[in-house]
Structure 1
Amino acid sequence: MARRWIRIRLGKRPPPRCRRGEECGIARWTWNGWAMDIRYLYSALNRVHSVSTTSKASLLDHPDLLLRMRSGGSVPEVHPSLSKAVANLNWEAALEEDKDLESKGIRILSWADEEYPERLRSLPDPPPALYVRGRLETLKPPAIAVVGSRLSTVYGLGVARSLAGDLVRAGLCVVSGLARGIDTAAHEGSLSVPGRALAVLGTGPDRVYPRENEGLHRRILESGGAVLTEFPPGTPPHPRNFPQRNRVIAGLAWGVLVVEATERSGSLITARFAAETGREVFAIPHNLTSRTGIGPNSLIQRGAKLVLQVSDVVEELPEGIRAALKPETSESDRASTPADLSEEGRKVLAHLSPDSARSVDTLCAATGLPAAEVLARLFELQMGGYCVELPGMRYALKRALREPT
């Protein structure tokens, strides 16, 4: 029987001809077993830190070159620095680490996999492999990235949470970076529809950063969402990782919505990646004196689309994407009128704002209610989805309310 070699998707060459049962690369190859283990080749490439992402991307269609470098052979087609870096990898340790990840339910999606996100393939430097926790189906709906400053305002948090909820109810997926501030609010809003929250980490898949978002990380997975990273296990939250992560956030999305950003915010890097790779850039308008409004306002000045409501985003999507969207209705939509609240609850609600937080003392003074009653009504409002508690026991509206009919 003639040997059949499986070519990987988008690949150009078959692997080196090994006799059946011989060691050839990182696994024991057979004539039709090569494609099964190719993910480990690309995952190992993620561990090469001394060369650029663009240099690594040059090998994505050439696994045969990777195999030759892995064996320490001469590869004149590749720059010597890249060839040396790949040859110096501890391939056995990488393989053992990857198999340990898979035993824990973490999926390795390589460039060769059909499930590898199509939007990432259009980047000039796509990751060779992704490590994914959660449902791969979360990667399929069209996505919008919602990003912003870690030093966020009450206004920004409310807008991010509200618009993220509106986007997932419109049938989109919301992707963000699990950072403090706007990213956290965006993920919280996207949890209103199961399976539409997608987080991209700047660490390995075995770490959550910041630690305070471990609960949010868990809720994303429990709701049917996904968390992914291109960084191998054990990678700490080094500052250089986050611009690299931001290109993946932009790459997964059809557009990037910047809610808040200071003049040097990493969110502007995400917006730049989006613009350079043909994605839409959206921004929320801000007060001219707001420090976190400098970024969005400057983006709007340079041509980003000003967003006031979810339809401003949806109408910029390609017609085929818009036609395929399946809007959903959630409990939070139906709970947007206070008609079902107690009289005391409505009184407290009347003194809450989506733009600024109120303390319990402030609400006691405004309503004339005792602190115990105010706290009870605030709990009622939180359970109904009307307000959110912020650090320091301060409270704000989640969104502007519709009048009861």
Structure 2
Amino acid sequence: MNDAQLAAWLTLSFTPRLGGVALARLMSVDSPENLVQYSPLQWQKLGLKSAQIQYIQQEAAPEVERCLHWLQHSPSHHILTPLDESYPHLLSQMSSHPPVLFVKGELAAVNSAQFAMVGSRHASLDGLRASKEFAYQLAQHGLTITSGLALGVDGHAHDGALMAHGKTVAVLGSGVDQIYPSRHKGLAERILQQDGALVSELRPDAKPRAENFPRRNRIISGLSQGVLVVEAAERSGSLITARYALEQNRDVFALPGSIYQPGFSGTNQLLKQGAILALNPQDILDELNPALSRSSYDYQPVQTQLNLTQQATPEITVNHSQPLPFPQLLANVGNEPTPVDILSQRTHIPVHEVMMQILELELAGHVISVPGGYILNSGNKPR
């Protein structure tokens, strides 16, 4: 697709209130290049409103030009349409697949065998630990871990895949140049450094908006062979992803939780409704292996269980030009394992706040979780 064709495609894709069905209908009438040259009367005959016609003829050009400039800025920038060979095959099978997909990073990651992991932004420590451990082991067995870069389960899933030196894909509810939440900018950089990818159907400079996040969930599940809901309350957005997955004929897995913890009410309900119980990563691999072996992906069958305690210390790159987060807490972490309660005593910070801060420091690569507590990442000490 040349620049003129892509510009026409982007123009129609960005037109307000022009959904996938209407867009497909228009493109069955004529090519995008010809359509954007239509007169207002021709557009009216095709059913477009005056505001849509005004956008196509007067307002689209600068937005499209910024996207084309972004595409040319770096070889790691990609704009995919369903006509491209690199457009993810599983995603193209969705009835509501995005007409345009912006990818920052490696296209190979977006076209690899993916498995989605989603869950609460306010997950329990058990939920966060499970997110990281499941992602680590699934990545070790060749699956690319796909999630939404949010706080909580999403961030720990991405981090677990990176610790296993695997690939991970982050699907955003903003543009790929507008990382949200901002505290995950470091995590996004690590994803790109390790041949992963950031993906969005929104323009690269699009700001995060609340209504974007439920829609991005259909892309998370659509890219993936299956979805694991790690921890979710009764009204969690993760359940939206599970619903999309079912509509897309994907396997839905869930981790069980205490009936006395509201944060697990959603996952327990999924299990009651027929989701596949996942007590360990092997349960997922056993279910997915037959489907993956019939696909074109280079997937190796599982031979043995992994022991997370035997993992090597991850190599993590930290951008030291950025101010260090939580300096008071970081100053009290050394080369000897220090548990959370001791850090709380030293800093006079409540334990629950120490837990949240130390988890963010771990995601950013400043500290490492080891048996007995946390230590500084010796390869990335502040300079």
Give the AA of the match of 1:94.
E
From 20, 29, 38, give the equivalent of 2:5.
38
Instruction: Return the offset for 1:309.
Output: 1.2
Instruction: Return the offset for 1:170.
Output: 1.2
1:242 alignment counterpart: 213
1:47 and 2:47 aligned: no
From 64, 77, 86, give the equivalent of 1:95.
64
Would the alpha carbon gap of residues 194 and 316 (structure 1) be closer, same or farther in structure 2, given more than 3 Å must change? same
From 136, 155, 161, give the equivalent of 1:190.
161
1:181 and 2:152 aligned: yes
TM-score by length of 2: 0.75
**Larger Rg belongs to:** 1
1:108 alignment counterpart: 79
Instruction: Return the offset for 1:219.
Output: 0.5
Instruction: Return the offset for 1:385.
Output: 5.1
Q: Distance between the aligned counterparts of 1:260 and 1:163, measured in 2?
A: 13
Report the structure, 1 or 2, having the larger helix content: 2
1:3-402 superposed matches below 5 A: 37-59=4-26, 64=31, 67-72=34-39, 74-75=42-43, 78-81=46-49, 84=53, 87-88=56-57, 90-105=59-74, 106-194=77-165, 196-317=167-288, 319=290, 321-322=292-293, 324-326=298-300, 335-336=309-310, 358-360=341-343, 383=368, 386=371
SS at match of 2:215: helix
Would the alpha carbon gap of residues 77 and 142 (structure 1) be closer, same or farther in structure 2, given more than 3 Å must change? farther
Q: Distance between the aligned counterparts of 2:243 and 2:103, measured in 1?
A: 25
171-180 vs 232-241, greater mean Cα deviation = 232-241
- What is the CA RMSD across the aligned residues, in angstroms? 3.5
Is the Cα–Cα contact under 8 Å of residues 71 and 87 in structure 1 kept in the other structure?
no
Aligned residue-pair number: 329
Give the AA of the match of 1:103.
Q
Q: Distance between the aligned counterparts of 2:226 and 2:289, measured in 1?
A: 11
> 1:145-199 deviations in whole A, cap 9, x for unaligned?
1001111111110000110111111111110000111100110011134451100
Task: Give identity over the alignment, percent.
Answer: 31
Give the AA of the match of 2:163.
S
Would the alpha carbon gap of residues 328 and 253 (structure 1) be closer, same or farther in structure 2, given more than 3 Å must change? same
1:17 alignment counterpart: none
Give the AA of the match of 1:181.
G
SS at match of 1:198: strand
Give the AA of the match of 1:79.
G
Instruction: Return the offset for 1:124.
Output: 0.7
Give the AA of the match of 2:8.
L
Q: Distance between the aligned counterparts of 1:217 and 1:275, measured in 2?
A: 28
Give the AA of the match of 2:116.
A
Q: Distance between the aligned counterparts of 2:197 and 2:70, measured in 1?
A: 16
Instruction: Return the offset for 1:233.
Output: 3.1
Give the AA of the match of 2:173.
G
> 1:10-64 deviations in whole A, cap 9, x for unaligned?
xxxxxxxxxxxxxxxxxxxxxxxx6564333333334223233443455566661
Give the AA of the match of 1:185.
H
Give the AA of the match of 1:102.
L
Instruction: Return the offset for 1:225.
Output: 0.6
> 1:296-322 deviations in whole A, cap 9, x for unaligned?
100000000010111211222262514
SS at match of 1:228: strand
Q: Distance between the aligned counterparts of 1:70 and 1:235, measured in 2?
A: 27
1:368 alignment counterpart: none
Q: Distance between the aligned counterparts of 1:116 and 1:252, measured in 2?
A: 10
TM-score by length of 1: 0.71
SS at match of 1:316: helix
> 1:98-155 deviations in whole A, cap 9, x for unaligned?
2211132221111211000001111111111111111111022211110011111111
Q: Distance between the aligned counterparts of 2:229 and 2:245, measured in 1?
A: 11
Q: Distance between the aligned counterparts of 1:303 and 1:85, measured in 2?
A: 48
Give the AA of the match of 2:73.
K
Would the alpha carbon gap of residues 36 and 282 (structure 1) be closer, same or farther in structure 2, given more than 3 Å must change? same
